[in-house]
Chain A
Amino acid sequence: MNSHLAVPKTYKLYIGGAFPRSESGRTFEVADRKGRFLANAAKASRKDARDAVVAARAAVAGWSSATAYNRGQVLYRIAELLEGRREQFVAELRAAGGLTQSKANQEVDAAIDVWIWYAGWADKYLQVVGNGNAVSGPYFNISTPEPTGVVAIIAPQGELAAGGGLLGLASVLAPVLVSGNTAVLVANEAAPLPAISLAEVLATSDVPGGVVNILTGSAAEIAPWLASHSDVNGLDLAGAGELEWVDLQISAAETLKRVLPPETGVPAPSIERIRFFTETKTVWHTKAII
Chain B
Amino acid sequence: MTMEQSTALAPASRAVQLLGTDLSEKNLKLHLEGLSGVDAVGLEARAAALATRSIKTSSKVWALDTIIRLIDLTTLEGADTPGKVQSLVAKAINPDPSDPTTPRVAAVCVYGDLVADAVEALGAAHGSGGPDGIAVAAVATAFPSGRASLAVKLADTAEAVAAGADEIDMVIDRGAFLAGNYGKVFEQIVKIKDACRRPDGTSAHLKVILETGELNTYDNVKKASWLSILAGADFIKTSTGKVQPAATLPVTLLMLQVVRDWYRLTGEKIGVKPAGGIRSSKDAVRYLVTVAETAGEDWLDPHLFRFGASSLLNDVLLQRQKLQTGHYSGADYLTID
Chain A residues engaging chain B, CB cutoff 8 angstroms: 50, 53, 57, 225, 228-232, 251, 254
Overall SS of chain A's interface:
helix
Kindly state whether residue B263 has any CB partner on chain A within 8 Å. no
B327/A57 in contact, CB under 8 A: no
22 interchain pairs, CB-CB under 8 A: A50-B328, A53-B330, A57-B330, A57-B331, A225-B327, A225-B328, A228-B327, A228-B328, A229-B327, A229-B328, A229-B330, A230-B321, A230-B327, A230-B329, A230-B330, A230-B332, A231-B329, A231-B330, A231-B331, A231-B332, A251-B327, A254-B327
Closest A-chain residue to B330, C-beta based? A231
Contacts of B333 in A (CB 8 A): 230
Chain B residues engaging chain A, CB cutoff 8 angstroms: 321, 326-333
Closest A-chain residue to B328, C-beta based? A229
Chain A CB count within 10 A is highest, among B321, B326, B328, for B328
What's the least CB distance linking B123 to chain A, in Å?
A: 32
Closest A-chain residue to B322, C-beta based? A50
Closest B-chain residue to A224, C-beta based? B327
What's the least CB distance linking A46 to chain B, in Å?
A: 8
Closest A-chain residue to B331, C-beta based? A231
Contacts of B328 in A (CB 8 A): 50, 53, 225, 228-231
Contacts of A225 in B (CB 8 A): 327-328
Contacts of B329 in A (CB 8 A): 230-231
- Give Cα distance in the complex from A251 to B326, angstroms: 11
- Give Cα distance in the complex from A230 to B326, angstroms: 11
Contacts of A50 in B (CB 8 A): 328
What's the least CB distance linking B84 to chain A, in Å?
A: 22
Contacts of B327 in A (CB 8 A): 225, 228-230, 251, 254
- Give Cα distance in the complex from A228 to B331, angstroms: 14
Contacts of A229 in B (CB 8 A): 327-328, 330
- Give Cα distance in the complex from A57 to B326, angstroms: 20
- Give Cα distance in the complex from A232 to B327, angstroms: 11
Contacts of B330 in A (CB 8 A): 53, 57, 229-232
What's the least CB distance linking B330 to chain A, in Å?
A: 3
- Give Cα distance in the complex from A169 to B73, angstroms: 45
- Give Cα distance in the complex from A213 to B41, angstroms: 38
Closest A-chain residue to B329, C-beta based? A230
What's the least CB distance linking B22 to chain A, in Å?
A: 59
What's the least CB distance linking B165 to chain A, in Å?
A: 37
- Give Cα distance in the complex from A228 to B326, angstroms: 9
- Give Cα distance in the complex from A170 to B156, angstroms: 63
